[in-house]
Amino acid sequence: MTDDLRQVVITGMGLVSPIGNTPKTLWQSLCERRSGVGPFTFAPPGTFPMSFAAEAGEFSGRIDDFGRLDKEQTKAIRKGLKVMCRECQMGVAVAQKALSHAGLAPGDFEPERTGVAFGSDYMLTLAEEFTEGVLHCLSEDGEFDFRRWPVDGMPKMSPLWLLKYLPNMPASHVAIYNDLRGPNNSLTLREAVPNVALGEAYQAIARDRADVMIAGATGTRLHPMKMIHAVQNEELADGDCPPEKASRPFDLHRTGMVLGEGAGAVILEERGRAERRGAEIFGEVLGTASSASVGPKLVARRADALATALSSALRVTGLAPESLGHVQAHGLGTRSCDSDEAQAINAVLGVRADPIPVTAAKSYFGNLGAGSGMVELIAGILAIKYRLLFPVLNYETPDPDCPISVVREEGVDAGNSFVNLSVTPQGQASAAILRAV
């Protein structure tokens, strides 16, 4: 880190997750080893080849889920809900909750110096959006007639349907509802996006382009089409076990990931500004890095990407491996990804005299898509606040292919810093390093 960069701190956190929708409830669930994986209720039994999932069941999408709002914000968000898919709703909710947690409301910040960096998965329309139009294009024998769609089908669709599924809408909504006129960007890097969004927000403040930034990410793997994609292309946990036992990062007997949904956001501020207004500071962002690596035929090289992102993050922050307190791992729970991640961690941090503790929040709530890394980041911030690491659920038998020190007992010191790791199936990896203040 160069001397001319301004210090950037975290002053607020907001989340929607299968194990709690506030930092307090998230931390309680982690400390009590309470899993958020349960029966799959988003579709009738037998519709999909999975019987469990990590649903954010406490998030209804009603205005009460958006935290403390003033009268005008309440009116605007309630009106805007009809043009937000569930991912957008969760994204807006966590941003508003993070602002409230930071003690910030409209009028407390300069609009031109306050911005948003928000990430998401790829967003897909629900089939229900087309149902009425399709029905009006059926022939007498029930066949769909494509020629009738422009005249008979499309007019039956809502003229605003596309706005519900644009990945730039969470950042747009948040900026509009809070009159934020500073830097604004939307990023779509799937699971790798939270650390990248955090890095962009950090750079905006560190280089004096903004004083306050909202960094967040929202995602779901429970959309019908995304579940089909996962069944076809990814390793899913075996259904022959209790739901709470399904997610087993780094364990020898892991069988695959659990699908889930969620979102998270943090408020970044220039440190002097935060101190002047008496804000509670939860941690300092030291730096971020990202990398992508693929081999022939575009096969992902996740171990290379993760190792490069991790070593680059250490380099830009000026930290030695011995300085890190712990690793918040991606911990997907699949045979291949966990092995790749463990090899990367060992390659970069294995030079330490003492093995670095590694924990994995996905053991509690599965893969939330783009939202996972931000919820995991919040878990890491809480861990260094309380100087305590939560054990990895269901880690019972070490895997020789994962030569890392996985946290399996209570009472392990989290240290005063951590690195948050994320990676996509396509080989895009990201890392963020934060420390306690």
Q: How far apart are CA 401 and CA 380, in angstroms?
A: 25
According to the model, what pLDDT value does residue 188 have? 96
- pLDDT-above-90 percentage for the chain: 93
pLDDT tens by residue, 283-299: 999 999 999 999 998 99
What does the pLDDT read at residue 324? 98
- pTM to 2 decimals? 0.96
Percent of the chain with pLDDT over 70: 99
pLDDT at 3 over 70: no
- Please, where are the H alpha helices in 292-405? 302-317, 335-349, 362-365, 372-386
Q: Is 429 helix (H, G, I), strand (E, B) or coil?
A: strand
Candidate from 38-47, 111-120, 183-192, 418-427 with smallest mean pLDDT = 38-47
Indicate the SS3 state at residue 90: helix
Mean pLDDT across 28-55: 91
At 359 the three-state DSSP class reads strand
CA 107 to chain CA centroid, nearest Å: 29
Token representation of residue 162: 């596309």
**50 pLDDT tier (thresholds 50, 70, 90):** confident
User: Of 212-216, 236-240, 414-418, which gets the smallest average pLDDT?
Assistant: 236-240
Find the mean pLDDT for residues 371-395.
Answer: 98
Query: What average pLDDT does the segment 265-275 reach?
Result: 98
The angle subtended at Cα 382 by Cα 250 and Cα 167, nearest 5°, is 75
Q: How confident is the model at residue 159 (pLDDT cuts 50, 70, 90)?
A: confident
- Beta strand 357-359 with 326-328 is parallel
| The pair of three-digit structure tokens given for residue 17, joined into one six-digit string | 């997750």
pLDDT at residue 7, as a whole number: 98
H helix runs in 82-208, sequence order: 86-101, 131-135, 169-178, 193-206
pLDDT over threshold 50, residue 1:
no
Predicted confidence at residue 75, as pLDDT, reads 97
User: Does residue 2 have a pLDDT over 80?
Assistant: no
Alpha-carbon dihedral sign for residues 378, 382, 385, 391: negative
Contact yes or no for 182/210 (Cβ under 8 A)? yes
pLDDT for position 319? 97
d(CA 16, CA 56): 7
Question: In the predicted model, is pLDDT for residue 346 greater than 80?
Answer: yes
- CA angle at 64 for the pair 62 and 65, rounded to the nearest 5°: 75
Mean pLDDT of 139-152: 94
pLDDT band at 310 (very low <50, low <70, confident <90, very high): very high
Do 389 and 414 meet the contact criterion of CB atoms below 8 Å apart? yes
* pLDDT averaged over every residue in the chain: 96
Residue-wise pLDDT tens digits, 221-257: 999 999 999 999 999 998 889 999 999 999 999 999 9
Domains of the chain, with CATH numbers?
Answer: 12-123+166-435 (3.40.47.10), 127-162 (no CATH)
**pLDDT at residue 239, rounded to an integer:** 83
* Residue whose token pair is 């880690």: 395
Position 144 pLDDT exceeds 50: yes
